[in-house]
Amino acid sequence: SLIFLHFRGGSSRTFTQTVGHLSPFFTISIDFRGWGSSTGPASPQAYSICHLAEDIEALLHILAVKSFIIIGHSMGGKVAQLIAGRNRTPGLKAVVLIAPAPPTPLVLPTEMKQQQLTAYSSPESAEFVARNVLSSSELDDDTIRMLVQDMKMGSEFAQRAWPEYAMGEDVTEEARNIRVLVLIIAAELDKIEPEDRLRVEVQGNIEAAEMVIVKGSGHLLPVEAPEDVGRHIKEFIQKVVM
């Protein structure tokens, strides 16, 4: 089974195009608390990386998934690193990190934090961010519409958590404790998590990590380059299984 974890502003729908290239594998795409169709607590502090990881661990336990690979994009990649590093999910065989947020803490300057907090405040600002910040290739109108809807659907607490405190969480110790195979899929034109940072802060902290670069794509790899992402995941699964 392939378990998909989305970016801040995304939902399970983020991976629809990628999953289309992953037949015949069984896939489960999850909405984090406060995003997509998932509700969440009415508490501003209840949306940490730790909370999100606990949700996924509990869900995997309830579903009794025996053997699985976790695939996390951006913020979902940081959650995936925490889950893999603390080793509470015995069925985990490998991890794929798509343009992941590093395990290291990131503290934004006040002005940049404010920009992040208001990025999804209106359909217009969300579309601007999707077209000009998160992506680096031309996206069709249907994809943009889906991205904007998902960005706007996030609850206030879920939206604020990442820039206010979740990106500042340090899960480096857990990342260094990952004992399964890890594939990092980086985007050549990523403005959010550039290749150099991923080499140092993600690959540099995970012993068994290999890295591939997708040419011509920005941060939104699952919608900008779903075929490439699917191909890299399939090739990686071959290594894990053998």
Domains and CATH numbers, the chain: 2-241 (3.40.50.1820)
Amino acid type, 111: E
pLDDT digits (tens, 9 = 90+) for 66-97: 999 999 999 999 999 999 999 999 999 999 99
pLDDT digits (tens, 9 = 90+) for 151-188: 999 999 999 999 999 999 999 999 999 999 999 999 99
Q: Find tokens 């025996």 and name the residue.
A: 66
DSSP 8-state class, residue 180:
S
Res. 242 pLDDT band, cuts 50 70 90: low
Q: Residue 120: phi, psi to the nearest 5?
A: -110, 20
pLDDT, the chain, mean: 95
pLDDT digits (tens, 9 = 90+) for 39-56: 999 999 999 999 999 999
Q: Torsion angle, CA of 191/228/182/5, rounded to 10 degrees?
A: 70
pTM of the model: 0.96
pLDDT at 110 exceeding the cut of 90: no
Instruction: Please compute the mean of the pLDDT values over residues 195-200 and round it to a whole number.
Output: 96
pLDDT digits (tens, 9 = 90+) for 10-33: 999 999 999 999 999 999 999 999
Query: What distance in Å separates the CA atoms of residue 157 and residue 43, rounded to the nearest whole number?
Result: 7
CA torsion through residues 174, 176, 179, 183, sign = positive
Query: What distance in Å separates the CA atoms of residue 240 and residue 242, rounded to the nearest whole number?
Result: 6
Instruction: Please compute the mean of the pLDDT values over residues 190-197 and round it to a whole number.
Output: 95
pLDDT > 90: what percent of the chain? 90
| Paired residues of 212 in beta bridges | 185
- Going by C-alpha positions, the residue among 74, 90, 94, 73 that lies closest to residue 235 is 94
pLDDT at 149 exceeding the cut of 80: yes
Q: Count other C-beta atoms under 10 Å from residue 188's C-beta.
A: 14
SS3 185: strand
